[in-house]
A and B are shown apart, each in its own frame.
Chain A
Amino acid sequence: KQEVTQIPAALSVPEGENLVLNCSFTDSAIYNLQWFRQDPGKGLTSLLLIQSSQREQTSGRLNASLDKSSGRSTLYIAASQPGDSATYLCAVRETSGSRLTFGEGTQLTVNP
């Protein structure tokens, strides 16, 4: 059974810092990996999707990397802003199906 773990569970940083969120998964037979953002009480906003054949994806200040063989992904946020405060979730889609398996998320607070 696929298990996804995110570390740390919570992170508080001052505005302007660069930061890294970590995601690990137990079964490397994945089709892709998605990073999401969730604001309190809201739905999920897709940030980046990395196919299993890719090593990284970039969107603005966000960069996500994938090391499928070691079962790890990182989300790098450059020059953090208070508006980046949210919970960040990673999810993997296995090659055997269409469901996403999520981690529990990292709650990020960026202090002005």
Chain B
Amino acid sequence: DTGVSQDPRHKITKRGQNVTFRCDPISEHNRLYWYRQTLGQGPEFLTYFQNEAQLEKSRLLSDRFSAERPKGSFSTLEIQRTEQGDSAMYLCASSRRDGASYNEQFFGPGTRLTVL
């Protein structure tokens, strides 16, 4: 069990550019979640997948954001036409089925995005 990994750890980009982040969940974890955290705030939910199906999206996930989990393993989060307000830490988490439900979420180290 190597934990949730995220790549890159840091990304600096210019306004208007597209960026893509990757998340590798803990192996055999069916659910994968994306959250966003701005400085001094708690994380906010963006979206989650069960296997390859995207089951829920927050209203925070504007049309410029898209997430995929094509084979039910790793996931990518793409932000198109980045804006300075997109600067944040993007956190990925995963969980596995435990009995009748999914419980504990385990988080990765995050990707810090800075939009200049």
Find out whether the CB atom of B102 lies under 8 angstroms from the CB atom of A103. Answer: no
User: Smallest CB-CB separation from B31: which chain A residue?
Assistant: A98
Pair count A-B, CB < 8 A? 58
Tell me the bound Cα distance from A46 to B4 in angstroms. 12
At the interface, yes or no: A19 with Cβ under 8 Å from chain B? no
User: Smallest CB-CB separation from A41: which chain B residue?
Assistant: B112
Residue tally, chain B, CB below 8 Å to A: 28
Residues of B within 8 A of A (CB): 4, 6, 31, 33, 35, 40-45, 48, 55-56, 58, 91, 93, 101-110, 112
Find out whether the CB atom of A44 lies under 8 angstroms from the CB atom of B56. Answer: no
**Known A36-B107, A46-B104, A46-B105: A4·B56 in contact at CB below 8 Å:** no
Find out whether the CB atom of A44 lies under 8 angstroms from the CB atom of B91. Answer: yes
Tell me the bound Cα distance from A87 to B56 in angstroms. 28
Partner of A100, one of B4, B45, B101: B45
